[in-house]
Amino acid sequence: MRRNRIISRSRVNAVSDRLQLNDEIQRLARDAGFDLAGVAPAADTPEHRFFPGWIAAGHAGDMRYLESRNDSGELKRASLANAAPWARSVVVCAANYNSAQPYSTHAGTTTQGWISRYAWSERDYHETLLTKLRRLESAFVSLCETRQAGTPRTWCYVDTGPVIERIFASYGVVGQTSFALERTREYLHQRHIFGQSLASKQYVAFRMSELAARLDLLRSHNLQCAEAVMAGEDITRMATVAKLTAGRLARDVADMCMQFHGGIGYMEETWTARFFRDMRLASIGGGADEVMLQVLSRLDGFPA
């Protein structure tokens, strides 16, 4: 049985106009320096409903900006409608940490370190990304005015999700430590002392295997977090555990990788030295270990 659907011409034109506008916005975002951009309805995500309770329980710690409220006393970050009730659409932009330019992970040489793109200057990365967003904002407003579609009301901001940010940090550590362990494992098989490879030493093998086992546990926890997010569950505890565990694992992996590379691993020209320095941020950025422990303590009923 063949089913037919009748769609009015006006509806077809409206859909076509939206698609063209999406394409235009993505083009403007690329021109502004972003690698990805997408347009979505201004609607709350399932985990937003847990935010007020999260704040009330004191899980924000000293990050008081998360408690900011609108004129009606509502938490701005509990709902997009609280912060921007006039918004109908959200344009989300992303910048890849790597690029084909020098000093990226694809630099093609082992004599250079890699630096995330947003850190290529002395400016705070929030300012760097905000400048690009405002460039996109200006171009979009000009486009609308040129097409006599009026002047849209807009607002730019850079990252504002502490719980999700911690999950993303944990996701990143899995990839980073996997890379470090694999690269160190190869070196241990190649490096020989007293006629035997370092990989044949029991202590070395045991320590590497232990770190790999801890990595497996973190990877499994991350998958569980992702499933909880998709189900709209409160992931405050899971995200906090993930961030704390990931930061400490990153530090331990970086320390062992440098140790097993010996003196050459300490030299700034080698990847292990840079990895050791960079991974230290995993226990600081996005909420330090002490903040994570404070959140967990309060969840466990301690007056921390």
Which residues have a catalytic role annotated?
Answer: 159
Find the angle CA(95)-CA(100)-CA(101) to the nearest 5 degrees.
95
- Nearest C-alpha neighbor of 173 from the set 278, 289, 26: 278
Cα separation, 233 vs 236, whole angstroms: 9
Q: Could you give the C-alpha distances from 203 to 178, 209, 255, 260, in angstroms and in order?
A: 20, 10, 15, 11
Cα separation, 70 vs 77, whole angstroms: 10
Cα separation, 62 vs 51, whole angstroms: 16
Find the angle CA(68)-CA(69)-CA(72) to the nearest 5 degrees.
170
Given the DSSP bridges, would you call strands 192-193 and 196-197 parallel, antiparallel or unpaired?
A: antiparallel
Q: Do residues 95 and 34 touch, judged by C-beta distance below 8 A?
A: yes
Cα separation, 225 vs 253, whole angstroms: 22
- Nearest C-alpha neighbor of 250 from the set 173, 163, 171, 149: 173
Question: 5: which 2 tokens?
Answer: 């659907």
Q: Do residues 152 and 91 touch, judged by C-beta distance below 8 A?
A: no
